[in-house]
Amino acid sequence: MNKLAETIGRLGGVNLLPVALAAIAFVLIGAPSSWVTLTVAGLSMGMMVFLMASGLSLVFGLMDVMNFGHSAFISFGAFVAASVLAALGGWLDSDSVLLATAALGLALLAAISFGLAAGLFFETVIIRPVYRDHLRQILITMGALIVSEQVILAVWGGTPFTVPRPSFLDGAWIIGDVSIEIYRVFAFGIGAVVFSGLLLLLNRTRVGLLIRAGVENREMVESLGFKINRLFIGVFMLGSALAALGGAMWAGYETIITPALGGEMMIVVFIVVIIGGLGSIEGTLLGAIIVGLTANYVGYLAPKMALASNMILMMAILMWRPSGLRPAVK
Amino acid sequence: MTLLRVHDMKTDIGQYAVLHGITFDVPEGGVFVLLGRNGAGKTTTLRSIMGLWRPSPGSVTFQGDDIAGMGTADIARKGIAYVPENMGIFGGLTVEENLILATAKGKFEPKRLQRIYDLFPALEKFWSKQAWSLSGGQKQMLAVARAIIEPRALILIDEPTKGLAPSIVAAMGEAFREIAQTTTILLVEQNFNFARSLGRDMAVIEDGRVVHSGSMADFVADTDLQGQLLGLSA
């Protein structure tokens, strides 16, 4: 038994979980083409959830702040990006791929910029007065979330908002019996780029070193002469911007969005952060991929269990590893 | 010359008054030892000096400057390092990363790094290992090394021998002697034999107050006083 555990550990340990999940699903689904389609969909969903969850994980881990208002950044990111795309509809409709790409780039940039600014405001005005007080954090961030949803209702209205997207991201690649949606591949690519960027930031820069140290022991970081509050602001802004980017990507994926989008995604985001392990980017990615795959496989195999599947997954993982799959602090 | 002056320092934690007026002077150079029974207020004293608890205004002066109201980061930048009781190392970071984080400019000064290697050879050996994988003694070495990787005027060290094997305690004592030649150490220690071998001056804290201060040599000679204040038998 020990030898088996050692061998699994050498091969990648918990990182093999998505592979194991995919292998089990392959047997249960039976049809390879459906399995490939579901796997691509799961990976793509996982990457978009990773974008939304990575910031929350860092904020949770570093600042010990339970920010239920995080989903507001997801919603605003979606609506800001959708509004920019709608305003640049002429560019999207033109034959020029360059103009369509520019419209998409501007939409994502607008969502990120909004996330940065909103994060600065939220941290300074809402979060800072309630550091170290979880009950007040929950109450005030829930309050802020409700207010944010009402602001979205007031600005964009309650009717579903159609999100235009560039024609080059529409449609699917058909390979044999397998259909792969182009937007899903694009979303996976964006997620992979952001993940690589975050890894570089955390592992190759002094700021990243400080963030990793701060996740473990904030007092000690201060005792080494670093003002942790400045780090908090930076991380909170980064987390908000990533959530907004995730929201923008999700809007393009869904193509129709409502003000409830953030709230709906928040449960999944919290599940990912908890099963991945607080403060760990690698853990968040792992958790997001597992959640994405599970949602798609179970949605196909037992649709009525789709909602419950991720909750069951979270409970099972927490019973096995109470600190999550890859916590930042050992 | 007095390096650190603590005068009538009072600290409340929440609704509880923990320090009721701590007073002592730490002269420049050597090792100053704070002794006292469990719960007397020694750790709170160090944390208050470091700004991790907020002490009463005007009660802590370092190199002539009032630091009682300052933030922890600003206090550290004035040249005070802190080695907490739990060592405070970053387990997910490598030995190298733990040390480089403590440098002012993000790079090592070769002579100081060599000094670390000379004092604690194990750290060179485990340079690329994550700190959580080190033994208790090696973690303590890393915590002390982090405090001296940059020039500091004062190092606050809280119970460095707790839970360590006798051979590691002896090595730690040697390292402290060497460090104390260039840097003042304010040491909180329960192990009286370890403390007496290092301390030049000392104070005893009891129930949040200093009840005795003076030279270590005089205290060591007075077994009655040791028994009365620390419960040590002759």
Q: Which one of A131, A204, A219, A224 would you mutate to disrupt binding with B, by most B Cβ within 10 Å of its Cβ?
A: A224
Cβ of A225 within 8 Å of Cβ of B73? The answer is yes
Spatial distance between the Cα atoms of B39 and B34, rounded to a whole number of angstroms? 13
The helix (H) or strand (E) run that includes residue A49 is helix A32-63
Chain A residues whose beta carbon lies within 8 Å of the beta carbon of residue B147 = none
Rounded to the nearest 5 percent, the helix, strand and coil shares of chain A are 80, 5, 15
Q: What is the predicted pLDDT for the residue at A40?
A: 95
Decide if A251 contacts A84 (C-beta within 8 A): no
Shortest Cα–Cα distance, A172 to chain B (Å): 43
Burial class (CB in 10 A: 0-12, 13-18, 19+), B74: middle
- Which residue shows structure tokens 């944390």? B47
Strands (DSSP E) along chain A, which ranges?
161-162, 172-175, 178-181, 256-257
Q: Which one of B101, B128, B146 would you mutate to disrupt binding with A, by most A Cβ within 10 Å of its Cβ?
A: B101
Hey, is B215 helix, strand or coil? strand
Spatial distance between the Cα atoms of B115 and B183, rounded to a whole number of angstroms? 14
Q: Which one of B54, B72, B85 would you mutate to disrupt binding with A, by most A Cβ within 10 Å of its Cβ?
A: B72
The domain segmentation of chain A, as residue ranges, is 50-259
Cβ of A329 within 8 Å of Cβ of B73? The answer is no
Q: What is the predicted pLDDT for the residue at B15?
A: 87
- Residue B234: pLDDT band (50, 70, 90) is low
Shortest Cα–Cα distance, A104 to chain B (Å): 38
Shortest Cα–Cα distance, A329 to chain B (Å): 6
The three-state (H, E, C) secondary structure of A101-116, written as one string: HHHHHHHHHHHHHHHH
The pTM of the full predicted model, rounded to 2 decimals, is 0.86
| Amino acid letter for position B194 | F
- How many A-B residue pairs are in contact by the CB < 8 A criterion? 62
Reported as a single tens digit per residue, the pLDDT across A244-272 is 999 999 999 999 999 989 888 999 999 99
Closest CA to B131 of B123, B160, B84, A202: B123
DSSP summary character for residue B56: P
**What's the ipTM?**
0.93
Pairing of strands B2-13, B16-27: antiparallel
Spatial distance between the Cα atoms of A258 and A262, rounded to a whole number of angstroms? 9
Among B72, B92, B106, the residue with its CB nearest the CB of A330 is: B92
Chain B residues whose beta carbon lies within 8 Å of the beta carbon of residue A215 = 92
Spatial distance between the Cα atoms of A78 and A135, rounded to a whole number of angstroms? 29
Rg of chain A, C-alpha, whole Å? 20
Chain A residues whose beta carbon lies within 8 Å of the beta carbon of residue B50 = 223
Shortest Cα–Cα distance, B64 to chain A (Å): 20
Closest CA to A259 of A111, A173, A157: A157
Spatial distance between the Cα atoms of A294 and A233, rounded to a whole number of angstroms? 34
Residues of A with a Cβ under 8 Å from any B Cβ are 206, 209-210, 212-213, 215-217, 219-228, 328-330
Q: What percent of chain B has pLDDT over 90?
A: 91
Spatial distance between the Cα atoms of B26 and B31, rounded to a whole number of angstroms? 9
Chain B residues whose beta carbon lies within 8 Å of the beta carbon of residue A225 = 73, 76-77, 104
Shortest Cα–Cα distance, B144 to chain A (Å): 12
Hey, is A232 helix, strand or coil? helix
Q: What is the predicted pLDDT for the residue at A62?
A: 79
Structure tokens at A145: 């979330």
Hey, is A178 helix, strand or coil? strand
CB contact set of B22 (below 8 Å; sequence gap of 6+)? B6, B8, B9, B10, B41, B45, B48, B59, B205, B208, B209, B210
Hey, is A39 helix, strand or coil? helix
Residue A32 CA from chain centroid, whole number? 28
Chain A residues whose beta carbon lies within 8 Å of the beta carbon of residue B90 = 212-213, 216-217, 220
Chain B residues whose beta carbon lies within 8 Å of the beta carbon of residue A217 = 88, 90
Q: What is the predicted pLDDT for the residue at A1?
A: 60
Cβ of A216 within 8 Å of Cβ of B92? The answer is yes
Shortest Cα–Cα distance, B210 to chain A (Å): 25
Cβ of A213 within 8 Å of Cβ of B101? The answer is yes
Q: What is the predicted pLDDT for the residue at A297?
A: 96
Spatial distance between the Cα atoms of A229 and B136, rounded to a whole number of angstroms? 31
- Domains in chain B (CATH in brackets) are 2-79+153-230 (3.40.50.300), 92-151 (no CATH)
**Residue A232 Cα distances to A201, A226, A299, B75, angstroms:** 15, 11, 38, 20
Q: What is the predicted pLDDT for the residue at A330?
A: 54
Spatial distance between the Cα atoms of A244 and B175, rounded to a whole number of angstroms? 52
- Residue B205: pLDDT band (50, 70, 90) is very high
Nearest chain A residue to B147, by CA: A224
Low-confidence ranges of chain A (pLDDT < 70): 1, 329-330
Q: What is the predicted pLDDT for the residue at A329?
A: 66
Spatial distance between the Cα atoms of B209 and B20, rounded to a whole number of angstroms? 6
Mean pLDDT on B1-6:
94
Reported as a single tens digit per residue, the pLDDT across B153-176 is 999 999 999 989 999 999 999 999
